[in-house]
Structure 1
């Protein structure tokens, strides 16, 4: 299983809901086995710069590539990019 985790911060906190809701459109892409968009709970006293987390699971690297190649992905990126400050991404193969 491939896990895809992306962290975002809103450039302007007034746009946080627009960032979150914009990213939820990625859930319409059919290639994932699990997909979530959540706001950071901010329970850690350090490193609360992250506002929104995208978490997805894919059966294979090919499924992740198909997800990123979908037109919804490009539209979502174009809509959210101007609203975000930080974007950190990690993709890894899990054995669990």
Structure 2
């Protein structure tokens, strides 16, 4: 399983909701087994610059590649890019959900 995690900060704080709604469109792309866009709770006093987090799970690298190749991915990127400041992304391969 691939966990796709992307952190965003928004240029203007009054546009956070517009960016969140824009990113939610990515959930309409098939290929992910789980997808969400959530606001950062900003409880860490040392680092609160991240406004939104996209978290998605994919069966394998092929599913992630198909997701990123979908036309809606490019369309969403074009809409969101001008509103964001920071974008950090990580794709991590895991054996599944942790069990203690």
TM category, shorter: over 0.9
Could you say which residue in structure 2 is the equivalent of 1:81? 81
The structure that has the greater radius of gyration is: 2
TM-score by length of 2: 0.94
Unmatched 5+ residue regions in structure 1?
none
User: What's the CA shift string for 1:46-95, capped at 9, x where partnerless?
Assistant: 11000000000000000000000001100000000000000000001012
- Segments of 5+ residues of structure 2 without an aligned counterpart are none
Aligned length: 96
1:38 aligns with 2:38: yes
Q: How does 1:14-29 map to 2 (within 5 A)?
A: 14-29=14-29
Q: Which residue matches 1:68?
A: 68
SS at match of 2:36: strand
Q: Which residue number in structure 2 is paired with residue 59 of structure 1? A: 59
> What TM-score comes out, normalization by structure 1 length?
0.98
